[in-house]
Amino acid sequence: MSDDSIYQQLRSHLAYLRLGAAAEALPGELDHALKNKLGHSAFLHRLLDVEVQATETRRQAGLERFARLPAPWRVDDFDFDAQPSIDRNLVHELATLRFLEDATNVLFIGPPGVGKTMLAVALGRASIEAGYRTYYTTAADLAARCHRAALEGRWATTMRFFAGPRLLIIDEVGYLPLASEAAAALFQVISQRYLKGSIALTTNLGVGQWGKVFDDPYVAGAMLDRLLHRSVVFNIDGDSYRMRAHRARAERLTTPTKRPRT
Ligand code: ADP
Ligand code: MG
């Protein structure tokens, strides 16, 4: 066989095996190998590296799309000085994602604007980057989705869906009252993940208030039981970060500053 037809066949083999990135990189890598007198292993290593990188990028993009994180927040973006009630070492420990290994839950409890969603999303980002399937939902969306699923006879599929991700973020529990059907859906999602998959949950409800907000205090109690059994809880107090930023801006506007001479 001529060099030319070997080359053609090699390309079509790569394409047949769906190694598209390697197929595309082949001519360049062959040139490189020739110029730099690379051995077979070094050449093959470089070629496959191209394919591995491309697969990894695709996989990340897939996880990213699937997760539906509402913002690109990262742990490093969080201003810990502004929120002294948060143990930054604990957050950094969580960002190593060891908590996913034994299905530990993370609860962020506190008033609006203190960074609950930001931290939950930042853990979600870390989890995606570590290659874990991650999914973000608000409690209200979860309830609405389960409601539709029940009507359309897709309850079991939907429950399986919420059992699937390695990390499930449930944002804003307690902002809207959950009717008994919605509470039952949330309860089932929490129960079936219990000791199997982590939940990061944000809520404005202190643990003592759960019973009052859900229609059925027993369901609320059972939910908390499962959530807290193996968990890390952040009780965040302090000012809303938004209000703080707003105040700082207002102060800047009202404090006379030296004008540069023109
Ligand atoms: P919550 O979910 O507690 O209501 P969010 O996480 O949505 O609050 O935070 C509200 C806004 O303030 C967001 O834009 C968030 O990025 C920002 N924010 C809150 N806390 C911090 C912080 N400590 N450092 C940086 N940004 C923060
Ligand atoms: Mg929030």
- Is the beta carbon of 93 within 6 A of some atom in ligand 1? no
pLDDT, position 154:
96
Which are the contacts of 56, defined by CB distance < 8 A and separation ≥ 6?
none
Helix, strand, coil % (nearest 5) of the chain?
60, 10, 30
From the CA of 170, which ligand is nearest?
Answer: 2
Segments of the chain scoring below 50 in pLDDT:
262
pLDDT, position 256:
56
- Is the beta carbon of 166 within 6 A of some atom in ligand 1? no
Q: From the CA of 233, how far away is ligand 1's center (Å)?
A: 18
Angle, helices 180-193 vs 139-151, to 10°: value is: 100
- Write b or e for each residue in 174-190: b if 16 or more Cβ atoms lie within 10 A of its Cβ, otherwise e: bbeebeeebbbbbbbbb
Q: 3-state SS string over 185-197?
A: HHHHHHHHHCCCC
- Is the beta carbon of 113 within 6 A of some atom in ligand 1? yes
- Is the beta carbon of 236 within 6 A of some atom in ligand 1? no
- Residue identifier of the C-alpha nearest atom 9 of ligand 1: 115
Distance CA 119, CA 232 (A): 13
Q: From the CA of 78, how far away is ligand 1's center (Å)?
A: 8
- Is the beta carbon of 162 within 6 A of some atom in ligand 1? no
Chain Cα centroid distance, residue 190: 17
- Is the beta carbon of 169 within 6 A of some atom in ligand 1? no
Report yes or no: 232 and 107 within 8 Å, Cβ to Cβ.
yes
Report yes or no: 223 and 186 within 8 Å, Cβ to Cβ.
yes
Structure tokens, 73: 């927040």
pLDDT, position 81:
93
Rg (the chain; Cα; Å): 25
- Is the beta carbon of 117 within 6 A of some atom in ligand 1? yes
Report yes or no: 197 and 167 within 8 Å, Cβ to Cβ.
yes
Structure tokens, 178: 């959950």
pLDDT, position 40:
95
pLDDT, position 149:
95
Q: From the CA of 170, how far away is ligand 1's center (Å)?
A: 16
pLDDT, position 261:
52
- Residue identifier of the C-alpha nearest atom 14 of ligand 1: 242
pLDDT, position 175:
85
Give the mean pLDDT of the chain: 92
DSSP letter at 261 equals P
> Which residues are near ligand 2, the ion (C-beta closer than 5 Å)?
117
Q: From the CA of 114, how far away is ligand 1's center (Å)?
A: 5
The preferred substitution site among 78, 116, 118 for testing ligand 1, maximizing ligand atoms within 8 Å of CB, is 118
* pLDDT tens-digit readout, 88-130: 999 999 999 999 999 999 999 999 999 999 999 999 999 999 9
